[in-house]
């Protein structure tokens, strides 16, 4: 029977809201009253992305373990992930392209996208500047390719994972390879989640504890201090939060993927449109209005696009395994 990990919904909702505040806050940093607060949102909300990577590092092994995943089901796993991730991304991409095109035409600017760049965007090979969150989906795709292959190794041979695979990935994260495959620049966050999952599920604790400790140590050494603290706090919250999630927080977690995908293109456009009519002293009200508007639109997007996509994903069955539904805690 599937064991509910209540903390994941809360963390997803917090991570999405943090990213929203980061993008919206930068629009109001010149506000005379709340400029410092908006600058704080801008500077630190962006670490919600790293929080998402840790969550993904944890929840994908969780779902694979519950489904008794074997390497023979690698193709089915990728198909599941594609059905879950890709349709909402494509819908958000189309909305982004249409709205940005109309915006460029209205301001008399030359549209920056073309047939080649748009085609690449459909396959995570290019990401429009008008929606800067999309690059993280490219990182997630590479992570799925990686974890589907190496999950059996992490599960059956934790010593090999901690002593060989982890050091190799740490070395790769410090090479020029990160300029070509961004996943290697963020691998440590996923590893915190992966090793954290095996500790959480009490599987071969010694080597997984070594792996988690080494991943966190490398994060504190190689990455920005706030992002390392976010990774640490995220996995600790997963370990120790055992309570049921209040309905409002559960709702924020449920629609977090939709919020993440479309908040920038809708929220920034709304702020730019209304800012010319609103006194600077009411910037805080415009920020709140933009957030409420984005969450309302995201809920509609969630109902129309994300739920059917999740249902389609759940219809894909792994071969020769006890299939359990991958719940909506996954991206």
Of the chain, the percentage scoring pLDDT greater than 90 comes to 81
Residue 328 has pLDDT above 70, yes or no: no
Say which range, 39-48, 76-85, 181-190, 321-330, has the weakest mean pLDDT: 321-330
pLDDT of residue 325: 41
| Structure-block tokens of residue 295 | 């969450």
Q: CA neighbours within 13 Å on the CB side: how many for 118? A: 14
| Terminal Cα-to-Cα distance of the chain (whole angstroms) | 21
Best CA proximity match to 127, nearest among 97, 163, 160: 97
Backbone angles phi, psi at 201, to 5 degrees: -90, 5
Rounded to the nearest 5 degrees, what angle is found at the Cα of 257, between the Cα atoms of 28 and 240? 95
CA distances from 47 to 14, 28, 32, 232, 301 (A): 11, 19, 25, 12, 24
Residue 190 has pLDDT above 90, yes or no: yes
Residue 3 has pLDDT above 70, yes or no: no
Average pLDDT, the chain: 92
> Which residue did the predictor score with more confidence, 61 or 105?
61
Residue 97 has pLDDT above 80, yes or no: yes
Secondary structure (3-state) at 215: helix
Residue 330 has pLDDT above 90, yes or no: no
The pTM of the full predicted model, rounded to 2 decimals, is 0.93
**Residue 29 binned pLDDT confidence (cut-offs 50, 70, 90):** confident
Residue 20 has pLDDT above 90, yes or no: yes
| Structure-block tokens of residue 137 | 């989906």
**Residue 2 binned pLDDT confidence (cut-offs 50, 70, 90):** low
Residue 57 has pLDDT above 70, yes or no: yes
Say which range, 52-66, 143-157, 160-174, 271-285, has the weakest mean pLDDT: 271-285
**Rounded average pLDDT over 321-328:** 42
Best CA proximity match to 46, nearest among 13, 14, 20, 28: 20
pLDDT of residue 198: 97
**Rounded average pLDDT over 128-134:** 94
Asked if residues 153 and 165 have their Cβ atoms less than 8 Å apart, the reply is yes
Complete DSSP assignment for 27-60: GGTT-TTTHHHHHHHHHHGGGHHHHHHHHHHHHH
**Residue 320 binned pLDDT confidence (cut-offs 50, 70, 90):** low
> pLDDT tens digit string along 144-176?
999 999 999 999 999 999 999 999 999 999 999
Best CA proximity match to 260, nearest among 134, 142, 139, 144: 134
**Rounded average pLDDT over 267-273:** 92
CA distances from 113 to 19, 101, 135, 295 (A): 25, 9, 16, 27
Domain ranges of the chain: 6-327
In angstroms, rounded to a whole number, what is the distance separating the alpha carbons of residues 222 and 229?
13
Q: Where are the alpha helices (DSSP H) in 157-278?
A: 158-160, 166-172, 183-200, 205-222, 225-240, 247-254, 256-274
Token look-up 């292959």 returns: 149
Best CA proximity match to 252, nearest among 70, 25, 11, 61: 11
Backbone angles phi, psi at 209, to 5 degrees: -65, -40
Best CA proximity match to 262, nearest among 96, 107, 116, 118: 96
């Amino acid at each position: 029977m599937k064991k509910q990990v209540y903390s994941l919904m809360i963390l997803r909702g917090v991570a999405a809201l943090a990213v929203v505040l980061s993008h919206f806050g930068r629009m109001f940093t010149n506000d005379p009253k709340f400029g410092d607060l908006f600058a704080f949102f801008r500077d630190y909300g962006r670490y919600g992305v790293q929080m998402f990577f840790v969550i993904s590092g944890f929840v994908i092994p969780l779902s694979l373990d519950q489904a008794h995943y074997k390497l023979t089901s690698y193709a089915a796993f990728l198909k599941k992930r594609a059905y879950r991730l890709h349709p909402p991304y494509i819908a958000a991409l189309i909305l982004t392209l249409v709205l940005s095109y109309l915006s460029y035409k209205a301001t008399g600017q030359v549209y920056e996208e073309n047939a080649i760049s748009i085609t690449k965007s459909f396959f995570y090979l290019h990401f429009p500047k008008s929606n800067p969150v999309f690059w993280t989906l490219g990182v997630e795709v590479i992570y799925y390719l990686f974890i589907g292959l190496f999950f059996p190794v992490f599960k059956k041979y934790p010593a090999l994972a901690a002593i060989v695979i982890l050091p190799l990935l740490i070395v790769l994260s410090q090479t020029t390879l990160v300029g070509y495959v961004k996943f290697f620049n963020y691998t440590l966050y996923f590893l915190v989640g992966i090793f954290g999952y095996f500790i959480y599920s009490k599987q071969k604790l010694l080597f997984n504890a070594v792996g988690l400790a080494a991943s966190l140590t490398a994060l504190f050494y190689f990455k920005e201090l706030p992002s390392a603290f976010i990774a640490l706090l995220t996995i600790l919250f997963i370990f120790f939060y055992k309570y049921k999630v209040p309905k409002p927080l559960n709702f924020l977690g449920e629609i977090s993927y939709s919020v993440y995908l479309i908040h920038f293109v809708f929220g920034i456009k709304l702020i730019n449109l209304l800012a010319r009519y609103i006194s600077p002293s009411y910037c805080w009200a415009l920020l709140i209005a933009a957030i409420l508007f984005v969450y309302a639109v995201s809920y509609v997007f969630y109902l129309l696009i994300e739920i059917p996509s999740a249902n389609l994903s759940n219809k894909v069955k792994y071969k020769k395994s006890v299939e359990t539904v991958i719940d909506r805690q996954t991206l």
